[in-house]
Structure 1
Amino acid sequence: MTATVRVGLIGAGGIASAHLLGYHAHAEKIAVAAVAEVDPAVRQRRGEELGVPVYDSYLEMLADADVDAVDICLPHHLHRDAIVAAARAGKHILCEKPLCLTAEEAAEVQRAVTEHGVTLMCAHNQLFLPTVAKAKELLDSGLLGRVYEVRTTDSFFNDFDPDSMGWRASASTSGGGELIDTGYHPSYLMLHLAGGRPVQATAMLSTHRLTFMEGEDSAQVLVRFDNGVVGHLVTSWAYAPASVTERFSVVGELGSLHSDGTSLTYDLRSGDSETFTFEKVHTISAEIGHFADALLTGSRPLHTEKEGIEVLGMILAAYQGARTGTIAEVIRA
């Protein structure tokens, strides 16, 4: 690895714009060195903007471009193939959520990454909220003792319509509905704060407003972890939550903590209480910097394919529980 990580961007529209802010912010250690994009207009625009070679096929880019890693910003159903191809080419990987769509795809991803010895980081950007980092530090210090419950929320009024929703409207390309899309964020946040492995899940799914979708526009999910923690998440594109709703909260034997995303408060049964406030950060920029640091130092990213597969397992079990009216087991890759 050189002093600057050279990245091939796979998919240059949509979320890639936010990723590029991260590359600009951390230009001293990581940079986009090539772009693969199927849309000719987007491909040309990104090539001119970045001054790098462009390709209409990521397979061609992997074979030809001088890159150390790839950043996968593709629709959900294309993640598995791009991950496997990049791993076989010996490239490290940053992949947007979800990691992939099925247990079978997850097994392929795990096998490819392991066999070819590359680092895969899941682009779980909300882990880089300062409130989340502080909450994790406090939990790991034992502030709350044994944790009983984790709650997470990520809901907003989404103005999608049939013309603008694109591939997200189809379950075959999105993997489901809102839960496997925006709902992925409160899922990985719950996993991070719970500190255990998910073993059971169920859900109630709803379509309140976006009736043109094949999948749900809202979900409420329950997850049990192997350390006894029970998680509850609420996620929706149909509505914004009530103003008193926490972004996340944790309850344990010694007290609780809660956050609105910008401040964090803990209240202990002993009477001790403290509130922390933080400046806003661009979480995707922080994520790009963390990816660079992991590759340059050989350290483990916060979430690798291990956590990505666990989050996917939670969501797939939640979907199964909703379909069957049961509590489903989380399948391990």
Structure 2
Amino acid sequence: MPQIKVGLIGGGGIAGAHIRGYAEHADRIGITAVADAVEATAVARGDELGATAYVDYREMLASADIDAVDICLPHHLHRDAIIAAAEAGKHILCEKPLCLTADEAADVRKAVQENGVTLMCAHNQLFLPAVAKAKELLEAGTIGTVYEVRTTDSFFNDFDPSSMGWRASSRTSGGGELIDTGYHPTYLMLHLAGGSPVEATAMLSTHRLKFMEGEDSAQVLIRFDNGAVGQLVTSWAYQPAPGTERFSAVGELGSLTSDGSSLTYKLRSGETETFDLEPVDTFVAEIGHFADSLLGRTRPIHTEEEGIAVLGILLAAYEGSRTKTIAPVLQIP
């Protein structure tokens, strides 16, 4: 048996990527129970993993011998599953977004803190080697005080009305593309900017996926309390133009930029260096980090605190777009 026994909540979609991670770290952490509201999915995943299958995750929480849960549910179901797991004393790995509203975020924070469990946000792109190297350089002051951070996550998505499912509804997705794929460049920006977000605005568009209720593309501006300003582009409608960076930062001494694989910094002094980094499976790295955090009793790279900060950026961006203003990022108690 693994050292950490996990109950998987939601066996479809992104769960497959998480399962790869558990397979690579089977000596330390593994799925021993799985719950899915679709019985056929629960049974199939249970057979695949040698795990006990449930159709109700609350029953799993009450009866399964597990230490933690991995929540891979549609967005609108995250809050209730987090609270149920926390109240059952289980540690939590939760897919993005953490939840959908300020009230839900307050409920999540309260449940996690009152029950003394660890919650890790499944922000897999933080485990890109280029992101880790960029964070190292920024914290070392290589480019000095950071003035600007830019992040991009855009691709041509072939969703259609028959395949989009719950993502087509703003009620269940929480908005549109921005709170879904756009969550990735938002948490990446938070990670690199080195401050707390204070205000944001956005221009939202639906260029191509006109059957969905929310936007399929967004451009977002964010100000942080350390003075850094973030620019974010994200879309399901199109591939970015050739040469568009995955992320970049500009500071008083120079800049750094990355296509997601390599990383280059260039200083005004003329010093420059390029790092060609070995690719990793970010989901495998994410699961390994979750195991390390629980076994070592250390803080995960992103907890509910960062999850709430990312949600605050997105809610302010949506509000700024709606009111055509720059909206404050709510401080969620």
TM-score (structure 1 length as normaliser): 0.99
- Pairwise CA distance, 1:243: 1.0
Q: CA deviation at 1:52?
A: 1.2
Deviations 1:289-329 (A, max 9, x none): 00000000000000000000000000000000000000000
2:150: which partner in 1?
151
Residue type of the alignment partner of 1:153: T
Matched AA of 1:248: F
Residue equivalent to 1:74: 73
Correspondence 1:95-110 to 2 at 5 A: 95-110=94-109
SS in 1 for 2:152: strand
2:174 is matched with 175
The aligned counterpart of 2:61 is 62
User: Which position in structure 2 is the counterpart of 1:314?
Assistant: 313
> In the alignment, which residue of structure 1 is the partner of 2:256?
257
CA distance in 2, matches of 1:285, 1:331: 33
Name the % identity.
73
SS of the aligned residue for 2:298 comes to coil
SS state at 1:90 partner: coil
Say whether residues 1:116 and 2:122 are aligned partners: no
Mapped partners of 1:24, 1:332: distance in 2? 39
Alignment check: 8 A CA contact 2:2 2:30 kept = no
Local SS of the residue matching 2:240: coil
| 2:200–2:223 CA contact under 8 A, matched in 1 | yes
Equivalent in the alignment of 1:47? 46
Kindly indicate whether the alpha-carbon contact (under 8 Å) linking 2:156 and 2:237 is maintained by their aligned counterparts in 1: yes
Alpha-carbon separation, structure 2, partners of 1:225 and 1:261? 23
Q: Give the Å deviation of 1:41.
A: 1.4
Shift of residue 40 of structure 1?
A: 1.5
Give secondary structure in 2 for the equivalent of 1:151. Answer: strand
Shift of 1:257: 0.1
Preserved CA contact (<8 Å) 1:127 1:189: yes
Q: Is the 8 A contact 1:264 1:276 kept in 2?
A: yes
In structure 1, what is the equivalent of residue 20 of structure 2?
Answer: 21
Which residue number corresponds to residue 223 of structure 1?
222
> Aligned partners of 1:284 and 1:182: how far apart in 2?
15
Aligned to 1:211: 210
Partner residue, 2:134 = 135
Specify the code of the residue in structure 2 equivalent to 1:267.
K
Give the structure 1 partner of residue 231 of structure 2. Answer: 232
2:89–2:117 CA contact under 8 A, matched in 1 = yes
**1:279 CA displacement:** 1.5
> Could you say which residue in structure 2 is the equivalent of 1:331?
330
Q: Which runs of 5+ in 1 are unaligned?
A: none
Gaps of 5+ in 2: none
**Equivalent residue letter for 1:285:** V
Identify if the C-alpha distance between structure 1 residues 41 and 3 changes in structure 2 by more than 3 Å, giving closer, same or farther: closer
Calculate the aligned-residue CA RMSD, in Å: 0.8
1:290 is matched with which residue?
A: 289
Residues 1:241 and 2:240 are matched in the alignment: yes
Do the aligned residues in 2 keep the contact of 1:3 with 1:296 (CA within 8 Å)?
no
State how far apart, in whole Å, the 1-side matches of 2:57 and 2:27 are.
25
Q: What code does the residue aligned with 2:111 have?
A: A
Instruction: Tell me if structure 1 keeps the 8 A contact 2:97–2:307.
Output: yes
Q: What secondary structure sits across from 2:153 in the alignment?
A: strand
| Cα distance between partner residues in 1 of 2:257 and 2:300 | 25
Shift of the alpha carbon at 1:44? Answer: 1.2
CA distance in 2 between counterparts of 1:85 and 1:45 reads 24
Number of residue-to-residue matches in the alignment: 332
Q: Secondary structure at 2:285's aligned position in 1?
A: helix
After TM superposition, the runs of 4+ consecutive aligned structure 1 residues lying more than 3 A away are none
Deviation at 1:91, TM superposition (A): 0.3
8 Å contact kept, 2:2–2:26: no
Does the CA contact (< 8 Å) of 2:197 and 2:225 recur in 1?
yes
* Partner AA of 2:203 in structure 1: M
